[in-house]
Amino acid sequence: MNEELLPVQIEDYLQEQTGHAVQVGPLTRFAVGFSWKTYLVPIAGGLPEAGGASELILRLGPSYGLFAPYSAMPEFLSMRSLESSAIPVPKAYWAGDNTETFGAPFLFCQKVNGAAVVPWVPANTPPLDEAYRKSLGTEFIDALAALHSVDWSNQPIAQMAQGINIENAALNNVLYWEKQIERWAMRPYPAAQWAIRWLKDHCPVAPRVAIIHGDYRTGNFLEENGHITAILDWELVHLGDPHEDIGWVSMPMYMGGSPHFCRLTEPEWFYQRYSEKVGFQVSMASVKYYRAFSLLKLAATHMAAARCFEEGRFNDLRMPAMGSQIATCLRQLEKTIESPL
Amino acid sequence: MNNSFPRLIDGMCATLRTEVLSRLDDEFARGQVFGVINLLNTFKSRADWSTEFLSQQVSVQSHALEQVRSLIASLPHAPEVATLTTPSVVSPTELLSLRDSANLEINKLLDWLASAKESLPGATALAIESELRKSMRREIEIELKNSPRPLFAEMSSGQENPI
């Protein structure tokens, strides 16, 4: 992947897709994300095939990134599947997994206005303004309930179903992440092994199989004036038990020292409103199960960060800092399993 | 920590050169960065992880394995439990290796316990699991006690006091 060649490569690719010449301005790289590279691509005169947009977002999944090798397809298929839904997602235009075009899997999508709410805040940070929190919190819950209500069976994302059903959703997931831990861990972690066994022995039956965002939290959506403008970062999307996203939302790491899920919603409010919107009652046993699962998944992500850094794939110092949080995840994981509902 | 000491030093020096110096114009500030790189390289050749907390972790694991050994000594078909032999003077590398060997042993015992649980007296199975879990918990607690407050807010925003 050569960044200097990127503007010309983008012009060539877009010309091939649209059938007319496209002029690209200087790219801006966003400093967000730990894995995919994200660029703002200015298009001189706008692009009719993208609703006349004068800016596009290009995401590239480099071979040295966290969890590489990547595929742009899960993100592309999910964004395409949600295009006409109530969930605010950027429009996805083009994507591919071949590395000949840009040297890495790629995705072009709509640029949406807004800013991300930081999930991690220093101690003593004042809480979010109450009206702002309530407004964002309401949309945060409603968008998740809407996502979990989508009939995906006739959508492009159905390609990812791979025999999933309400009985095997939990176990398939645990087996997948167990493999990731085998791949990434640089040393044995008995606490993780013990937790994996617990997760295998306590698999819940899902109320339905839904589209799971996989990393639904503050930091992964844009907001403007207290309203969510786009849910982003669909790399970990898959089909599964809707409680999985709730478990992720409820992790203590994202509460920012507040009593609120993702600094936004009181747990009781979240459960009540979500249950009303989604059409089934949230199971507290399943929330506990998937919170434990989420902590294992987060620990696995940190193990991957530590290994990628150790192997010299990159020198991004945020990675070993993430790696130093494995113990925190495993401690919370054990506490979660031991806790009453 | 989960990364090796020399790799962390190399990563810090590389980041300072490629990500910081390349964006820093002030001559004095650049001199300070080179000073930091110089010192980091000195640490790499002369320093290593503290042996103190690694020794604590190995000692906890060693105690747990001894307890389990005595709990299963009289059981038929009980697995052999390795003994951790700690030399009197040990380097951080040796301690890390001992810690990992002990954890492998604990993993093996967890596997055995899961398969043999039904055939073991209930109280014995519980006692074995309790010893193994106590060891895991203590290992994590010792690691957390020796970890600074993470600066994720600052790392993701680039600001000293982000909101």
Do A321 and B152 make contact, defined as CB atoms within 8 angstroms?
yes
End-to-end CA distance of chain A: 48
ipTM: 0.88
pLDDT at A100: 93
Tell me, yes or no, if the pTM score tops 0.90: yes
Q: Please tell me if residue B52 touches chain A, with a CB cutoff of 8 Å.
A: no
**Single residue among A55, A85, A111 that ends a domain in this structure:** A111
- For residues B61 and B121, membership in a common domain is answered with yes
Instruction: Show residues of chain A in contact with B9, CB under 8 Å.
Output: none
- For residues A68 and A171, membership in a common domain is answered with no
- For residues B31 and B98, membership in a common domain is answered with no
Q: Which helix (H) or strand (E) holds A109?
A: strand A106-110
- How many Cβ atoms from other residues are within 10 Å of residue B66's Cβ? 14
Do A317 and B11 make contact, defined as CB atoms within 8 angstroms?
yes
Among the partner-chain residues B2, B12, B139, the one whose CB lies closest to the CB of A324 is B2
User: How distant is the Cα of A32 from the closest Cα of chain B, in angstroms?
Assistant: 7
Measured between alpha carbons, how far is B87 from B74 in angstroms, rounded to an integer?
Answer: 29
pLDDT (tens, 9 = 90+) of chain A, 341 residues, equals 677 899 999 999 999 999 999 999 999 988 666 788 899 999 999 999 999 999 999 999 988 777 788 999 999 999 999 999 999 999 999 999 999 999 999 999 999 999 988 888 877 788 899 999 999 999 999 999 999 999 999 999 999 999 999 999 999 999 999 999 999 999 999 999 999 999 999 999 999 999 999 999 999 999 999 999 999 999 999 999 999 999 999 999 999 889 999 999 999 999 999 999 999 999 999 999 999 999 999 999 999 999 999 999 888 898 899 899 999 999 999 999 999 97
Q: Which of residues 89-118 of B touch A (CB under 8 A)?
A: 96, 99-100, 103-104, 106-107, 110, 114
pLDDT digits (tens, 9 = 90+) for B61-99: 999 999 999 999 988 888 999 888 777 778 999 999 999
- For residues B80 and B29, membership in a common domain is answered with no
Q: Please tell me if residue A335 touches chain B, with a CB cutoff of 8 Å.
A: no
Which residue of B lies nearest to A334 if distances are taken between CA atoms? B137
- For residues A107 and A123, membership in a common domain is answered with no
Do A323 and B140 make contact, defined as CB atoms within 8 angstroms?
no
CATH number, domain at A225? 3.90.1200.10
Q: Is A1 a member of any domain?
A: no
Q: Is A333 a member of any domain?
A: yes
- For residues A125 and A205, membership in a common domain is answered with yes
Helices (H), chain A: 6-18, 73-81, 130-147, 169-184, 190-201, 243-249, 267-278, 284-310, 318-323, 326-338
DSSP letter (8 states) at residue B77: T
Among the partner-chain residues B7, B110, B144, the one whose CB lies closest to the CB of A328 is B144
Residue B156 to residues A119, A236, B163: CA-CA distances in angstroms?
Answer: 9, 20, 11
The amino acid that residue B71 corresponds to is: L
- For residues A85 and A125, membership in a common domain is answered with no
Quote the domain boundaries for residue B109.
51-145
Q: Which residue has the tokens 């861990």?
A: A185
Quote the domain boundaries for residue A56.
6-111
**Counted domains in chain B:** 2
Strands lying side by side in the sheet with A115-116: A115-116, A221-224, A227-231
Q: Are A222 and A113 in contact (CB under 8 A)?
A: yes
